[in-house]
Structure 1
């Protein structure tokens, strides 16, 4: 039987590079790997269903499940994970000395439904006494004006939300004090340029994130891999074939990171940082599957529902193709 030709749109990651380079192959699949920026991948997949397989924002995927039938089926493969305390910025004169001071403030967010923003709103509510409905939300383009939500959101009236003024960017509004804070996955340009008017809410990000992990055991999931439903329904075997290949590629990335003969990335202390990550988070600190990520996924699904983005509270198993949750007994 001829292999099935599929196109996979995904970022340029160490954990997926073996698939991009063809050193790991999915059984029965001839895969074309497109290295694309995440925003482009998400937009093209959500709006136009351009790829058979794609990386996707976890939040956008959960939003898509409101459709009947849902347009995608996910694999428990987490191409992006990241602690997001570093994603919270404030204006220096906004009277914010710590995260608890955000209550009652005006907070920018490029899109309300962004996974990073869902996580940070949840963390602020659970751990810092700042419920998502205790702030005023402003949405819009961070560096270019006019950004809108990629996926439709129908929010409850308790969410106070408005669009940025026409022609205004969130970065400029933050620097000029028109908004008090900004939660965003990308570093805002004033902060990157060293503008003293903009600083992080958590001054010691690493300490805050280590403390968060020690208290919760959560290493937040940002992105999953999805298969277009029409492809999955015609070829359900694709789910496990891709999952196995993505697991193998991740294992290769682990091994390559710990090759101390020469540094693969331009980080002088990469090896001790890797060893510290293993000591704090465990050997398989970037684990795939549901079993080792149940608390993380269930917490995100609770946040998503509480913040008005989900029509109901889902369980982690509901998100993924059943074939990717099973394995043969040897």
Structure 2
């Protein structure tokens, strides 16, 4: 009998073969939920267990795990990218460099976004920025309801890029915009990314895949099949799409765990193996 799975997966090169139906299974079938953008489905998964299989921002998963949410990580990466290009400042107010951010007003969609956590980690650990000195301005709650956000909330109706253009923010993280007067916080992002990779040996992971704890416990064969299908779909992606060895995945996870703990989003830096259960830890 085919096991039908409520599933949230975005449209990525590595998921295309699953999403378009060209890759099928006799064991499992996916009932895809449609959220645009995909991250709008993360809150229902974290708060209500809305899916059996779900794409998930890695920082959201780390936070959800710290509050005992019944989800288990699969070793499948669906979105990874360098982060340096996703930070802007208003050049009309003067030149701003990463090391100049102490004491500044910095906007971010939510303090708990994965891109934000990566960028704050880079700023703190590679540029000596004191994250506690920054006046953080946010626009959305965390996906994890139990997290206590102490940042300043932007006034209702305000938009992050417009606040930057109006001089109400000095910089923003997690954004790209081609607007007059806005410049990248990292002036040569491509060069910065190469240097960062040479130093740290990691490609930052944004999204992986989780399954419900119930599915992992009661239908292990279905979980193994989901993993296999995700692996096969990724192998069919065009050349140049991010592909992670187990060692590369672990290195990136070690870094984001450290950054997330450093920033107070989780209570301690757990070991990578703690992110998986007895089943998913064996998947290769």
Q: Distance in 2 between matches of 1:149 and 1:169?
A: 17
**1:148 has 2:141 as partner:** yes
Aligned to 2:167: 177
Structure 1 SS opposite 2:85: helix
- Once residues 43 and 215 of structure 2 are traced to their aligned partners in structure 1, the CA distance between those partners, rounded to angstroms, is 19
Gap change, CA 1:17 and 1:34, over 3 Å in 2: farther
Q: Which of 156, 159, 176 is the aligned partner of 1:166?
A: 156
* Partner in structure 1 of residue 277 of structure 2: 321
| Structure 2, gaps ≥5 residues long | none
CA–CA distance in 1 between the matches of 2:9 and 2:48? 16
Query: Which runs of no fewer than 5 residues in structure 1 stay unpaired?
Result: 141-146, 259-273, 275-283
CA contact (8 A) 1:95 1:101 kept: no
Partner of 1:83: 82
Taking the aligned partners of 1:126 and 1:8, their CA distance within structure 2 comes to 37
Deviation at 1:296, TM superposition (A): 1.3
Alignment deviations for residues 207-265 of structure 1 (CA, whole Å, 9 cap, x no partner):
11111111111100001101122222221233222111111111111xxx24xxxxxxx
Contact 2:15 2:233 (C-alpha < 8 Å) held by counterparts: yes
Indicate yes or no: 2:268 matched with 1:294: no
Per-residue deviation, 1:288? 5.3
Go from structure 1 to structure 2 and tell me whether the alpha carbon gap of 1:178 and 1:24 turns closer, same or farther (over 3 Å shift): same
Gap change, CA 1:167 and 1:245, over 3 Å in 2: same
Deviations 1:178-216 (A, max 9, x none): 1100001x43xxx33x322x2111122211111111111
Are residues 238 and 75 of structure 1, via their aligned partners in 2, closer, same or farther at CA, if it must alter by over 3 Å? same
In structure 1, what is the equivalent of residue 262 of structure 2? 306
Q: Please tell me whether the aligned partners of residues 202 and 248 of structure 2 are also in contact (alpha carbons under 8 angstroms).
A: no
TM-score of the aligned structures, taking structure 2 as reference length: 0.91
Say which one has the larger Rg: 1
Give yes or no for contact 2:87–2:173 (8 Å, CA) kept in 1. Answer: yes
| Coordinate RMSD, CA, aligned | 2.0
Cα gap change, 1:229 to 1:293, in 2 (>3 Å) = same
1:61 aligns with 2:61: yes
Q: Which moved more, 1:242-251 or 1:118-127?
A: 242-251
| 2:215 equivalent to 1:231 | yes
Distance 1:132 1:122, change over 3 A: same
